[in-house]
Chains A and B, each alone.
Chain A
Amino acid sequence: MKDPVLVKESAVHPKKTSPVESSSTKDLNLVQAVNLGLRQEMQRDDRVIVLGEDVGVNGGVFRVTEGLQKEFGESRVVDTPLAELGIVGASIGLAMYGLRPVAEIQFDGFLPPIFDQIISHAGRMRSRSLGRFTVPMVVRSPHGGLVHAPEHHSESPEAYFAHTPGIKVVIPSNPYDAKGLIVSAIRDPDPVIFFEPKRIYRSVKAPVPQREYTVPIGQAQVVRPGKEVTLIAWGAMVHTCLQAAAYLSEEHVEVEVVDLRTLAPLDLETILESVSRTGRAVIAQEAPRTCSLGSEISALIHERALLKLQAPVVRVTGYDVPTPLYKLEKYYFPDVDRVVRGIRETLKF
């Protein structure tokens, strides 16, 4: 993974001087990058509180909140009862009251109970109160498979959230973006679902500045330029796609890889600009195919860039079956080979 130098940074005017702030840059993994982002926002803004199962004493099962309770105390880093609906419902109220809750849902497969609160309240609080009440809340959750986990620990539920009006959905693919996006998510005036691709929690390291910076919500990034095909992905799948692009490059097929970073709202401009140049698009995702993010992106490209296309958009996806137990997961999630095949399909058209 190259240092993502293309990131546009927004000006940040901290309220308080942060003791951690310095101009240095450290190699961090994604766990450490989110941790640093959370810590700096908690130092900067005392309205930020972290709550969830095992986030305090234990520092989260993936250690993303490690050390935060020690630094900020039990009233700002709160171990809650085992109740996802309660965690998110209470976070909505905390946010309406004026705090900046960052709720952790321990695994993607434990997200379903929160839909009642997300759909019925978080996503419509602003509109139903005609702007009187808002929900500046972040819900963090791990995302995706290929970690040999038990059932319900390898899910990709982003489409349910992206489908819900009033909800923003973010997923970084590298430590730099992870820190910049968690800060943006916390500062955002509306509810943000923040997915963390667990397959690359620790396997991808990159230089992360210690100073404050943000990566804006709603901006995709071209992580590898190319001219024959646009390959669109998010989260851990970006790395699979970069490998596929490198593989095809040896055959002189130059693939442009777009890391969406934000899934709702989509950065339509970046997608259409790239596809208009290459004339071909492949979307790769871990999630099942039907009614997925890939379906939406494909529809948008066909609706708005049909005459630029030289082939129909191809989707390389998980299958329309429940995520299998881990012995078969490598057959379920698209690998480099399947992405390469998807690209060849558009080239052969």
Chain B
Amino acid sequence: MERLEVLDCEGRCDPALKPQLRPDQIREIYRLMVTSRRFDEKAFRLQRQGRLGTYAPISGQEASQVAPPYCLQKSDWMVPTYRSAGAYYTRGVPFKNILIYWGGDARGARVAPDQRDLFPTICIATQIPFAVGLAWGAKLKAQKEKKTSEVVLCYFGDGATSKADFHEGLNFAGVFRLPIIFVCENNQWAISLPRSRQTAAPTFSQRAFSYGMEGIQVDGNDVFAVHRATQAAVERARAGKGPTLVECETYRLGDHTTADDASRYRSAEEVARWQKLDPIVRLKKYMLQERLWSEAEETKLSSEADLVVEAAVEEAEAFAAPNPVSFFDHTFAELPWNVLEQRKALEEYLKEKDSRKDTVILDKEGRFP
């Protein structure tokens, strides 16, 4: 199975595989990765301080979070998982939205009218079949208008490949030769289960063969390798040459979510081994060696990243609470009698509750998990 590596862990670049990126693009990718890491660390602290709900960290996966969406155009689609802060940020979705969503408010996942980046999918792999449907729609539109196609970037993890949705989705994409790029972020762990529990095959990427599509494994902590493989896949998809499965072999440095404790099931030595392969450190080493970057610029970026993150936290925390009856609003295009009746009942109930002094206190709430 083909495996692509461009940068080694000392940031030295394979001379045959020089990045197809301008210096300003490399600096921009680095900025996106560093700022995403900074946000991730902040989100974790916010959760610990009781200021944020459960959050799924991306630390360690910045290369596979940033490079694939970086290959897209605004008119392309992205269908992410729940571990997606870096991918969203790369697509221009503000961190504020991510905080509002994980703060338990659906408005944080609202997709703007000019945006084609879907809300996070929590149920594993279930986004794959509908991402395939989006790609099918894009193909039909391109055929009708005799234009090159929009493409769909569909994310999932190693665990997702075990589900029927993965098989059915990839099979459709192969059969109908759809303009879709499947990025499998193989971060080695599906909560406590090592990747060896998801497949007996040596790679995830080789499953592409059985669906009649292109497949490639890349060093997922090597942002140039991820970029090169996804860029080629995007170009193939746009040209009507069908789907690609890109396996990014990376590592989840943090817990599965803030509700998890990874030290229960994996060793500190293993984490330390992967920390040495940190995608941000590698890119920085490369940039310093190539004189694309300086420590002065690093200091400047660091304080800029803090400002971006702090501003997002402030905006999210200042965001007004949702209207309690808003959850009825989008059940259907036209609300049926039962939903209308129930909305009215809740409105009246809340009005009455406000005016009464003897309101019974709410039950004690549970804890997640």
Contacts and interface: CB of A to CB of B under 8 A. Distances in A.
Contact of B106 (A110, A148, A325): A325
Contacts of B163: 82-85, 113
A273 interface: no
Nearest to A244: B360
B339 A320 contact: yes
A146 interface: yes
Contacts of B265: 57-58
A56 B265 CA distance: 10
Nearest to B362: A335
Interface string B92-128: 0000000001111110000000000000001110000
Contacts of B104: 148, 325-329
Contact of B338 (A62, A85, A320, A338): A320
Nearest to A78: B197
Interface stretch (A37-45, A171-179, A194-202): A194-202
Given A83-B164, A341-B349, A320 B331 contact: yes
B190 interface: yes
Interface in A150-205: 150-153, 198-203
Interface stretch (B215-223, B305-313, B318-326): B318-326
Contact of B193 (A59, A79, A151, A320): A79
Contacts of A278: none
Contacts of B102: 150
Q: Identify whether the interface residues of A are mostly helix, strand, loop, or mixed.
A: loop
A203 B193 contact: no
A86 interface: yes
Contacts of A327: 103-105, 321-322
B190 to A, nearest CB: 5
B192 to A, nearest CB: 4
B191 interface: yes
Interface string A319-340: 1111011111111100111101
Contacts of A86: 162, 164
Nearest to B257: A150
Contacts of B363: 146, 199, 239-240, 243, 335-336
Interface string A44-66: 00000000011011110110000
B198 A319 contact: no
A15 B366 CA distance: 38
A112 B122 CA distance: 13
Contact of A340 (B106, B360, B368): B360
Given A326-B104, A337-B359, A53 B191 contact: yes
Contacts, number: 163
Contact of B368 (A79, A153, A335): A153
B367 interface: yes
A157 to B, nearest CB: 13
A113 B124 CA distance: 11
Contacts of A319: 327-328, 339, 342-343, 346
B328 A321 contact: yes
A153 to B, nearest CB: 7
A226 interface: no
A321 B191 contact: no
Nearest to A109: B123
Contacts of A289: 338, 342
Pick from B123, B199, B360 the residue with the most CB of A within 10 Å.
B360
20 contacts: A57-B192, A58-B192, A61-B260, A79-B192, A82-B159, A82-B193, A83-B164, A109-B122, A146-B365, A149-B368, A150-B122, A198-B366, A243-B363, A289-B342, A319-B342, A320-B338, A325-B105, A327-B104, A330-B362, A335-B363
Please provide the 4 A-B residue pairs with the shortest distance between their CB atoms, ordered closest to farther: A326-B104, A58-B192, A199-B366, A82-B159
Interface of A: 53-54, 56-59, 61-62, 79-86, 109-110, 112-113, 146-153, 198-203, 236, 239-240, 243-244, 247, 289-290, 319-322, 324-332, 335-338, 340-341
